[in-house]
Structure 1
Amino acid sequence: MNKAIIFSIGTALIASLFSINAQAQDVKGTAQAGQAKVWICVGCHAIPEYRADWPQVYRVPKLGGQNAEYIIASLKAYKSGERKHPTMRGIAGSLSDQDMADIAAYYAAQNANSPRNPLK
């Protein structure tokens, strides 16, 4: 194969990798956008002391006031299968990086005294 073609393909691949990485780093969440997206979270995370019992008993944590980076990392771990809860894996699998950032920003802006259900 021609060296110029190989060089061009290699350069294009490297440029696309940098582009993907730059896009992932540029994702900034907003609490306002997150408020419109947390409807899927409210069903479990807005119930005080809620425990899900399938496939085993899980204590469902309160998310208000949680660190945004932790929420994003947790959602990505569910999406990748690193964390195993099947319902959370399905939910996280449907979220884009922007959705995760917005949801995380919303919950990070909350505190223990914030209303549990943002849809009221």
Structure 2
Amino acid sequence: MTTKHLAIALFAALAVSACSQGDTPAEHSSADRAEGHTSSSAGLPAGHIAVGEKLASDKKLSATGQACVDCHGAEGNAPVDGLTPKLAGQYHDYIAHSLQMYRDGDREHSLMSNQAKGLNDQQIADLAAYFGSREGKLHDLHNVH
């Protein structure tokens, strides 16, 4: 077997192994998603929308004493200013990855780094599931000429 064939075989084995471990989308049926469970490419546990909704208003969750909705607005649709992003309707994986990066120091922001510092993986998954499930008022460049 050549080195090239060995590399391909190794890559295939790793891919199969990665897909067979953990929380794959196939393990979450449409009934699970309807109950507010999400799976994540961020390596997080399933997120729960109802729990995330409570966490989004919890002022004791962070070191700053502010809740997510204090800055991002009700359901993540009414930010306090033009610099604060809308979270509603955003991909839950994007929110999860962002919160992980703020928590772990891989992404810096004067407020968000402190907000996320005390979050555990389940809380991040729940917040991401909640904000990602809200009807968003985000606009993209689709059909913009």
Please give the alpha-carbon distance, in whole angstroms, between the structure 2 residues aligned to 1:63 and 1:93: 19
Secondary structure at 1:95's aligned position in 2? coil
Q: How many residues align?
A: 87
Secondary structure at 1:71's aligned position in 2? helix
Please give the alpha-carbon distance, in whole angstroms, between the structure 2 residues aligned to 1:26 and 1:43: 25
Q: Using structure 1 for the length normalisation, give the TM-score.
A: 0.63
The one-letter code matched in structure 2 to 1:28 is A
Which of 93, 98, 102 is matched with 1:74 structurally? 98
Does residue 1:41 correspond to 2:71, yes or no? no
Which of 96, 104, 108 is matched with 2:120 structurally? 96
Partner of 2:46: 28
Secondary structure at 1:36's aligned position in 2? helix
The one-letter code matched in structure 2 to 1:42 is V
Distance 1:61 1:108, change over 3 A: same
RMSD: 2.5
Instruction: Could you tell me which runs of 5 or more consecutive residues in structure 2 were left unpaired when the two chains were aligned.
Output: 1-20, 24-41, 58-66, 138-145
- Say whether the 8 Å CA contact 2:89–2:131 is kept in structure 1: yes
Secondary structure at 1:108's aligned position in 2? helix
Greater relative CO (CA pairs within 8 A, separation 6+)? 1
Deviation at 1:45, TM superposition (A): 0.4
Deviation at 1:86, TM superposition (A): 2.2
Instruction: Could you tell me which runs of 5 or more consecutive residues in structure 1 were left unpaired when the two chains were aligned.
Output: 1-20, 52-57, 114-120
Deviation at 1:26, TM superposition (A): 6.1
The one-letter code matched in structure 2 to 1:30 is H
- 4+ runs of 1 displaced by more than 2 Å? 21-26, 47-51
Query: Between Structure 1 and Structure 2, which shows a larger proportion of helix residues?
Result: 1
Does residue 1:61 correspond to 2:79, yes or no? no
Q: Quick one: percent identity of the two aligned structures?
A: 34
Please give the alpha-carbon distance, in whole angstroms, between the structure 1 residues aligned to 2:113 and 2:44: 24
Secondary structure at 1:70's aligned position in 2? helix
